[in-house]
């Protein structure tokens, strides 16, 4: 029996990350499911994957902590190299910049940018030796258009877009494809408290998206059908930013 290829998905215990984990498992990947603290939610996703006939290995560590990331991943990477890495871990701490705390600025950038660096540096070094791989960074419309009250989050996501393009240029010759997927308003914990009555009129499709509409694109980018696509940013936003 052929061994399954591995997909490492960060921040995969809920929302878009969980949908991506389920999608890639359904596509035949053995999912390394990273989460920071919500063990119960991560276990539920792992059970969903396994019930559907997939394979899932939960990996608890904080991507913003370089030492914790190395401790969790290096022993595994000595034995196996993921074909797919999805950098999805992230969170928002919204507020106008004049009143933003130092910690809200630093923590948001730490998870998105340091987290990307801490995980990707370890994985891409092994992908280079294997001469194959797919890296998908989950960014945001906020990083493309800018959103008032999200200077920290917009800066972090815009930084990831720049990193996506630069890394794609670095590793393309080794058959490693690097792309970004940019969701707009998606039905997750992050959008539950938003004033939808004000947001929906701004979206040409008139609704917010579902996590599976993001994960479906990620699945495509990890497939052989996407073998000539790299360095791109793909929006899943209902037309709110064109």
Which residues belong to the active site?
A: 153
- Strands 6-9 and 55-60, by their bridges, are unpaired
Q: Residue 93: exposed, middle, or buried by beta-carbon count in 10 A (0-12, 13-18, 19+)?
A: middle
> Is-contact 90 15, C-beta < 8 A?
no
Angle (deg, nearest 10), helices 15-26 and 39-51: 20
- SS3 letters for 118-169? HHHHHHHHHHHHHCCEEEEEECCHHHHHCCCCCHHHHHHHHHHHHHHHHHHH
């Amino acid at each position: 029996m052929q061994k399954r290829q591995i997909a490492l998905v960060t921040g995969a215990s809920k929302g878009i990350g969980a949908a991506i984990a389920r999608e890639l498992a359904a596509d035949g990947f053995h999912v390394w499911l990273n989460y920071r603290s919500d063990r119960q939610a991560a276990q539920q996703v792992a059970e969903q994957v396994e019930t559907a006939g997939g394979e899932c290995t939960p990996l608890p560590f904080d991507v913003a902590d370089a030492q914790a990331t190395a401790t969790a991943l290096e022993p595994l990477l000595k034995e196996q190299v993921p074909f797919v890495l999805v950098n999805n871990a992230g969170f928002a701490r919204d507020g106008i910049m004049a009143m933003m705390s130092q910690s809200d600025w630093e923590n948001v950038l730490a998870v998105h940018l340091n987290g990307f660096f801490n995980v990707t540096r370890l994985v891409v070094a092994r992908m280079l030796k294997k001469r194959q791989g797919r890296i998908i960074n989950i960014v945001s419309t906020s990083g493309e258009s800018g959103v008032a009250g999200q200077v920290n989050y917009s800066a972090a996501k815009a930084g990831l877009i720049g990193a996506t393009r630069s890394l794609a240029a670095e590793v393309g010759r080794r058959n490693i494809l690097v792309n970004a997927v940019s969701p707009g308003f998606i039905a997750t914990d992050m959008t539950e408290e938003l004033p939808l009555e004000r947001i929906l009129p701004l979206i040409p499709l008139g609704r917010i998206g579902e996590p599976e509409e993001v994960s479906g694109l990620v699945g495509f980018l990890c497939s052989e059908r996407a073998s000539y696509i790299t360095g791109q940013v793909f929006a899943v936003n209902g037309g709110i930013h064109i």
